[in-house]
């Protein structure tokens, strides 16, 4: 394997985030802090911080926001050889309220007709699937446009053809879809290509029509998944799968958090924990413990990915939890 080639690939839309420095209506806020946003980039950054070689496939505009994102992602160690600069479309923007009391912050997007929404399978023609160890996908790219949907299907199919493991987080964005049925059918079709499916409980209920974690997991296992991990928020997470060679079902309790600062990015931190643990060779129970732990870290900071630990910090957290 080429040592300079990433062994994990992520893709989607990175946006420049402007987060309010003080609580209140966005119309009244005068100062914002700039950073990166996007569920897919959060996971990419989290895995890169843990020492994995992560590639990022996307499009940004030929504007200051696109240049900022490229520089920021490269500083985080991401391989941006598949990050295309689009001279005809702008980089997406997002503005986020400073939430109080652990509430979900309000956000406003400027992403219509963005550079990333123009992604298509043509942008992935140079991807060397023979070197990839893992592909992480979410339900956000296929919600952006028909061509993004085609890209998602192309990448998941190619990854499975090459024996690359695939994780899929539905990451529902209902307002981006023409209809709930289109969202459900598309995302369930993509989940059928994944080894590890990672929905939240309410997401799984909406997508499958099932109510219990057990039955939601059964739906995706019947489609071909090897494991389904369902996020239960503060209560932890639920596992059902065959990763150890036998059918297993269990729940791992959540990590207590004294103060929830910002819930954005918690699910992405969870995905970082589970995927990294599986790629590290840990068993499913250990993987859920790490996923719960990183998700809990993420809700204790105001940013979308500032709580994602590097390897040294993760080792400290896991040692403290074990003790």
Question: Any idea how long the chain is?
Answer: 323
Q: Is 229 in contact with 250 (CB distance < 8 Å)?
A: no
* pLDDT number for residue 259: 85
What is the 3-state secondary structure of 227-251? Answer: EEEEECHHHEEEEEECCCCCCEEEE
**Cα 258 off chain centre by:** 25
* pLDDT number for residue 3: 58
pLDDT at 1 over 70: no
Phi, psi of 198 (to 5 degrees): -125, 65
Nearest 5°: CA angle at 171, between 184 and 213?
70
Rounded to two decimals, the pTM is 0.94
pLDDT at 262 over 80: no
Strand partners, 34: 18
What is the 3-state secondary structure of the chain? Answer: CCCCCCCEEEECCCEEEEEEEEECCHHHCCCEEEEEECHHHHHHHHHHHCCCCEEEEEEEECCHHHHHHHHHHHHCCCEEEEEEEECCCCCCEEEEEECCCCCCCCEEEECCCCCHHHCCHHHHCCCCHHHCCEEEEECCHHHHCHHHHHHHHHHHHHHHHCCCEEEEECCCCHHHCCCHHHHHHHHHHHHCCCCEECCEHHHHHHHHCCCCHHHHHHHHHHHCCCEEEEECHHHEEEEEECCCCCCEEEEEECCCCCCCCCCCCHHHHHHHHHHHHHHCCCCHHHHHHHHHHHHHHHCCCCCCCCCCCCHHHHHHHHHHHHC
* pLDDT number for residue 150: 98
pLDDT digits (tens, 9 = 90+) for 47-74: 999 999 999 999 999 999 999 999 999 9
Please confirm, yes or no, whether 63 is among the known catalytic residues: no
pLDDT at 135 over 90: yes
* pLDDT number for residue 59: 98
- Catalytic site residue from 79, 268, 280, 304: 268
Of residues 5 and 168, the one with the higher pLDDT is 168
Weakest mean pLDDT among 147-151, 229-233, 262-266, 283-287: 262-266
Cβ-based neighbours of 36, under 8 Å, separated by 6 or more: 14, 15, 16, 17, 45, 69, 72, 73, 304, 305
Furthest C-alpha separation in the chain: 56
Strand partners, 23: 98
* pLDDT number for residue 281: 97
- Residue recorded with tokens 């939430």: 99
pLDDT band, very low/low/confident/very high, at 308 (cuts 50, 70, 90):
very high
- In angstroms, rounded to a whole number, what is the distance separating the alpha carbons of residues 214 and 238? 8
Q: Is 268 in contact with 305 (CB distance < 8 Å)?
A: yes
């Amino acid at each position: 394997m080429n040592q300079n080639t990433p062994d994990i690939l992520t893709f989607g839309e990175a946006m420049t985030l402007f987060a309010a420095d003080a609580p209140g209506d966005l119309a009244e806020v005068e100062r914002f802090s700039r950073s990166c946003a996007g569920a897919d980039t959060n996971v990419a950054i989290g895995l890169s911080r843990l020492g994995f070689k992560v590639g990022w496939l996307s499009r940004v505009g030929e504007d200051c926001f696109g240049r900022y994102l490229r520089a920021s992602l490269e500083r985080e160690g991401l391989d941006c050889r598949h990050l295309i600069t689009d001279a005809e479309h702008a980089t997406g923007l997002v503005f986020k309220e400073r939430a109080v009391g652990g509430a979900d912050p309000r956000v406003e997007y400027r992403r219509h007709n963005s550079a990333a929404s123009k992604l298509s399978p043509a942008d992935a023609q140079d991807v060397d699937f023979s070197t990839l160890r893992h592909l992480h996908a979410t339900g956000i790219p296929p919600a952006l446009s028909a061509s993004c949907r085609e890209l998602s299907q192309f990448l998941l199919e190619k990854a499975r053809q090459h024996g690359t493991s695939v994780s899929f987080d539905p990451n529902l964005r209902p307002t981006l879809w023409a209809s709930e049925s289109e969202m459900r059918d598309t995302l369930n079709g993509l989940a059928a290509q994944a080894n590890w499916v990672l929905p939240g409980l309410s997401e799984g209920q909406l997508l499958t029509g099932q109510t219990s974690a057990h039955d939601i997991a059964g739906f995706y296992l019947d489609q071909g998944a090897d494991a389904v991990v369902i996020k239960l928020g503060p209560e932890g997470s639920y596992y059902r799968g065959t990763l150890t060679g036998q059918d297993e079902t269990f729940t791992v309790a959540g990590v207590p958090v004294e103060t929830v600062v910002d819930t954005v990015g918690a699910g992405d931190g969870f995905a970082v924990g589970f995927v990294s643990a599986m790629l590290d060779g840990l068993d499913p129970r250990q993987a859920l413990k790490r996923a719960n732990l990183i998700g809990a870290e993420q809700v204790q900071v105001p940013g979308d990915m500032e709580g994602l630990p590097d390897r040294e910090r993760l080792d400290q957290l896991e040692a403290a939890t074990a003790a």
